[in-house]
Every structure is written in C-alpha cells, then in structure tokens.
Chain A
C-alpha cells in the first residue's frame, strides 16, 4: 500500500531564503507524486506533479521537486521564499494499485512560515 511521510510539521524560513520541504513515499508500484498548497480557509492547489517523466519537476511560483527513487523521496524546493508562500503544503501519492481510482494519499502536511 502507498503512503507518504512529510518530515517536519513546521518549517520556518526568512524571506529570500531557500525553501526545502521534505517528503518520503512508500509505493509498491511506480508512483505518481504530487505537491499541493493550501491557504487558510481554501481548498488545495496543485503546485506540481511527477508522473514518471523527467525526475526534476518544475511547478508554479518557482517551486520544483526532484523524484529520487533510490531515496524514495520527492522533496519540494524554492530558491527564494516570498511572504506569500506562507501556507500549508501537502505531499501526496496516487494509489494506482487498487481499483484504478487514482485516489490521492496525503501526508500530514507541513506549515511553512516565512519571516520578514
């Protein structure tokens, strides 16, 4: 069965600093992996996804993530944090093994705080 672990429930960075949010996955089949962002009182917005093409995936707002099979990781990075990046971030893996629903299995989330 697929699962996702996000390391660090809270991450704090200064404005302009590198953002690194960690995600490790477990999957018995080649995974599809996703990062979503959630602003307060809003739904989920897709930042980027990996679906077995290039291992370095570029998303919106200068976010990117690298799929590393050997480390079963899919960490999210951004070179320079903006105040507007403060939000909750979720890593998710697609459940491709059962019933072909493509349902998403989410991690617990990481709250990103950006300090001026």
Chain B
C-alpha cells in the first residue's frame, strides 16, 4: 500500500530564516505531487504541483519554491521566511490514472 510522509511535524522559525520541508511517498512510482498551505484550519491553497522529476508548476508567486530531486520526493523551501508564511503545510500525491489526492500528515509552521 502507499504511504506519504512529511517532516518535520512542527517547526518554529524566526523571520528571515530559511525553510526546508520534505515529503516522500512510498509504494507507488511516478506520482503527481502537490504542496498546499492551509491557514486557520480552513481552505487549502495550492502552492506547487509536479508531474515528474524536475517539473514544477507554481500556482502562487511568493517567496517559496519547490523541488523534486527524486521521483517520490518533494521539497518545499524558502530562503527567507515571512510572518505570513505561518500555516499548516500539506503534501499530497495522486496517481496518473485516478484523480483523488492522498494527503500527508502535515507540517505546522510558525514564523516568529
């Protein structure tokens, strides 16, 4: 069966510091991968998605970036965090043949 991991689970970082969040998927190959941000326990904002290694599409211009160095690894980064980057970050995957997405446990980021 497929599983999706995210780490760290929680993170407290000062403004201006760098960020690296990691997501990995097991039990499938060539998944579509997604990064979302959820503010205040409500709606989801799609940040990035990837259909293959090195292929990244950005949905919202901001100080975040994403990379996919391996087939089942998706990384969200920032060079300098802003207060507005605080939130709950969710990684998700989907297969190329079905449409539903499966989510990881999330990372709670607090920028102080």
Q: Do A and B come from one complex?
A: no
Which A residues contact B (CB, under 8 angstroms)?
none
* B residues lining the A interface (CB < 8 Å): none
